[in-house]
Structure 1
Amino acid sequence: MLKTTLLIAASACFISACAQFGPDSPGTAGAAITTRPACPTPAQMEQPELVGRWQADMPGQRGPVVLDLKPHPEWDGTVKGFIHRPGFSAVVVGDVHQGRVTLEESRDGTRVSGNWDGEVVPGSCARQIRGEWTDEADRPFAFTLRKLP
């Protein structure tokens, strides 16, 4: 009886550890399993929430302005994609850290032609970002990014 109880207790600990860390956790064969909050706060927003299609509302700029962001193929935790403006597209790279989003866009893939600096809007479930976009001439324009379904 004591052996059975010890085996059950050991199994429960093992199952609990597997559930907590998953089969792909560090120390096992593969990457860690992470679950993202259903409605992340600004501080919880990370690269997975930044990935996707965003519509930009930019008073004083011709629209529509749409950003398509994907995981960066070389830099973990960052994004790379395109911004589509009337008449042209540009490359965009950036990241999010504790609710602050920074993106750089480049029309030629070499020089920075615009900087995005914004904050995730509290209560938006990481689906809205407000801030300032600065063009090549350092002219600032307010923006609101809204994640599209």
Structure 2
Amino acid sequence: MTSSILRFTLFFIAASLHFSGVSAQNKPQTACPPAQAMKAEQLHGLWAVRFNPPPTGLPARATMRLERHAEFTESLAGTVSRELGAPTGAAPAAGHAAIAALAGDLEDGLLMLDESSDNLSITGTWNGEMVEGSCGRMFRGTWKDTSSGAPANAPDVPFTLTRLPRRP
């Protein structure tokens, strides 16, 4: 009799779990929004930039600050800061400032920024995509030198943006 009660209890528990949708397997959490659902405001903050290989005459690392654009609230503005005196193995790039202005958008998971070292002309372009599974904390893409000192056939330079921890 005890074994039949035990079997009935186990059957009842298993049936209850089945009908309640509970599973014994751990399903991965999908807390990350899809790239297409990301909004520009989710990118506000500090980012580490790594170029591999670095652009000719510029350092391999930089820091980017993104914030809300003053005029276009759904867009991005900010700065990219580089140590131009850092040893790069090449002459410093003409047409680039240590701190350059940024403006652009995040559309359907694509990050598009224009860079200006003189606040008049576009001296670089950034095009990147959110890295899948990064929850918007990493983007990869290419940067292109469009400054007056850039060669006509300036290459696209691969970059990675990684969100820096927010300070309290």
Fold equivalence (TM over 0.5): yes
What is the one-letter code of the residue matched to 1:53?
A: L
Q: Percent identity?
A: 35
Shift of 1:60: 2.7
TM-score (norm 2): 0.64
> Does 2:63 match 1:66?
yes
Structure 1: 5+ residue stretches without partners: 1-36
Residue 131 (structure 1) aligned to one of 124, 128, 141 = 141
In the alignment, structure 2 segments of 5+ residues that lack a partner are 1-29, 85-97
Aligned pairs for 1:44-123 (under 5 A) are 44-61=37-54, 62-87=59-84, 88-123=98-133
Question: Shift of the alpha carbon at 1:71?
Answer: 0.3
Q: Answer yes or no: is the 8 Å Cα contact 2:99–2:117 preserved in 1.
A: yes
| Most deviating of 130-139 and 95-104 | 130-139
CA RMSD of aligned residues (A): 1.5
2:37 and 2:109 in contact (8 A); partners too: yes
* Structure with bigger gyration radius: 2
Correspondence for 2:158: 142
Displacement after TM superposition at 1:40 (Å): 2.1
* TM-score normalised to structure 1 length: 0.71
Letter in 2 for 1:126: G
Q: Secondary structure at the residue paired with 1:132?
A: strand
Q: Could you tell me how far 1:53 is from its partner in structure 2?
A: 0.6
Question: Which runs of structure 2 are paired with 1:35-50 in the superposition (5 Å)?
Answer: 39-50=32-43
List structure 1 runs of 4+ shifted beyond 4 angstroms: none
1:69 touches 1:79 (CA, 8 Å); kept in 2? yes
Asked if the contact 1:133/1:143 (under 8 Å) is kept, the reply is: yes
Query: Cα offset for 1:64?
Result: 2.7
